[in-house]
Amino acid sequence: MSTASAPVRQLDPRTAGELRGTAESVLSESGTATASPRLLDRVASRAAGLGDALRHHCRPVDTADGLFVLRGLDIDDRAVGETPRSWATAEGRGAVYDIALLLLAMVMGRPIAWEGQQDGRFVHNIVPSPGHEEEQTGASSTVLLSPHTEDAFHPGRAHLLMLGCVRNHDGIATTAASIRRVRLSDRDIALLTRPVLPILPDDAYAEAQGYADRPPPAVPALFASEDGLTLRFDPAYTPVAEADGDYRAAYGRLEAELSRVSVAVSLNPGEVLVLDNDLVVHGRMPFRPRYDGTDRWLKRASVRVPGRRSRPAAEAGEHGYGQAAREAHTG
């Protein structure tokens, strides 16, 4: 579907101006968008002073879709510069947008950064990269990025995922599917809430893939929380063939249902897609990159929500394949 049919939260000009002005002020005071403790403290302090209208738009996801589009920010396509060919060469590009995403993340919860991904940055640049076209990572392009829970292998994964659009001339869609929209039998739910298979680290975590201190933990694909079903799902990195026939069949029906209810959200520059990572799996439609500076360019931020109870208590005992996340604290 288009963003017009996704739940939209429209920032009025005054509120959008407040967010952008605050981001510009933080960047001017700091001189950089690289997330140092000093910068994060400044972002937290300034986020605490943002107005009620913006806070209302940043309230928790409140529909079964498990997502919303925040609309109202502007991106100057010329001023932002060419789409980089790699996250490693994107430092400083679109810096005001980096700060704006961090401000939003601070209002929604606590932004996190993974030591093993994009050099521990709190805001990631998602761009097609030469040589990575067919991977199951954000750097891919020509293959379908399979629907998945972000960082599904780790117990400390984000509760919310934010995808901010810098450039999308070709209207390339992010796919999303909510567990609250699927239809599954009680038997399938009973099977899939059992911890049967592990979810292995994806290709963005090379060090985690070599972790061998302990065997990978088996985790449930579904969890019956107080508010309803949540999911932890990444079929591209789950050894489904190792399960028995009944489990494989139930897992296949879950995949089919998620495909049935999947929607396509094509973001415009300045729009931010917010996904509940406990309810929604996301992916991306395939496209042919040009590598000419005009390709699709997203910014990604991950957010934990303190005190949220949407996951099994047993996750606390997982080793996380040796990966650790830094969590920015609110002011």
Tell me the DSSP string of 152-201: TT-TT--SEEEEEEEE-TT-PPEEEEEGGG----HHHHHHHTS--B----
Structure tokens given for 178: 């909510």
Q: For residue 48, give the CATH number of its domain.
A: 3.60.130.10
Task: With H, G, I as helix, E, B as strand and everything else as coil, classify residue 300.
Answer: strand
53 domain-assigned: yes
> pLDDT digit string (tens) for 62-106?
999 999 999 999 999 999 999 999 988 888 899 999 999 999 999
Structure tokens given for 160: 């919310």
* Nearest-angstrom CA–CA distance, 148 and 140: 15
Judged against a pLDDT cut of 70, whether residue 215 lies above it is answered with: yes
> pLDDT digit string (tens) for 5-29?
789 999 999 999 999 999 999 999 9
Handedness of CA 225, 185, 160, 150 (dihedral sign): positive
pLDDT at 28: 92
Band of residue 331 on the pLDDT scale cut at 50, 70, 90: low
* Angle made by CA atoms 191, 195, 199, in degrees to the nearest 5: 115
Q: Which residue matches tokens 């001339």?
A: 169
Structure tokens given for 328: 């920015």
For residue 31, what are the domain limits?
Answer: 8-327
Instruction: Extract the runs of DSSP E, i.e. beta strands, from the chain.
Output: 8-10, 67-71, 110-114, 123-126, 145-148, 160-167, 174-178, 222-225, 228-231, 263-265, 272-276, 280-284, 297-304, 325-327
Mean pLDDT over each residue of the chain, to the nearest integer: 93
> pLDDT digit string (tens) for 269-298?
999 999 999 999 999 999 999 999 999 999
Q: Are the C-beta atoms of residues 65 and 82 closer than 8 Å to each other?
A: no
Judged against a pLDDT cut of 60, whether residue 2 lies above it is answered with: no
Element (H, E) at 329: none
> pLDDT digit string (tens) for 226-253?
889 999 999 999 999 999 999 999 999 9
pLDDT at 220: 98
Handedness of CA 159, 118, 269, 259 (dihedral sign): negative
Q: Are the C-beta atoms of residues 102 and 122 closer than 8 Å to each other?
A: yes
* Angle made by CA atoms 328, 140, 241, in degrees to the nearest 5: 95
- Total of domains in the chain: 1
Judged against a pLDDT cut of 50, whether residue 4 lies above it is answered with: no
* Nearest-angstrom CA–CA distance, 72 and 63: 21
Structure tokens given for 54: 């913006």
3 domain-assigned: no
* Nearest-angstrom CA–CA distance, 50 and 44: 10
Judged against a pLDDT cut of 60, whether residue 264 lies above it is answered with: yes
1 domain-assigned: no
Percent of the chain with pLDDT over 90: 77
pLDDT at 129: 93
2 domain-assigned: no
Q: CB count, 10 Å around CB of 52?
A: 8
Element (H, E) at 229: strand 228-231
Does the pTM surpass 0.75? The reply is yes
Give the mean pLDDT of 132-151.
89
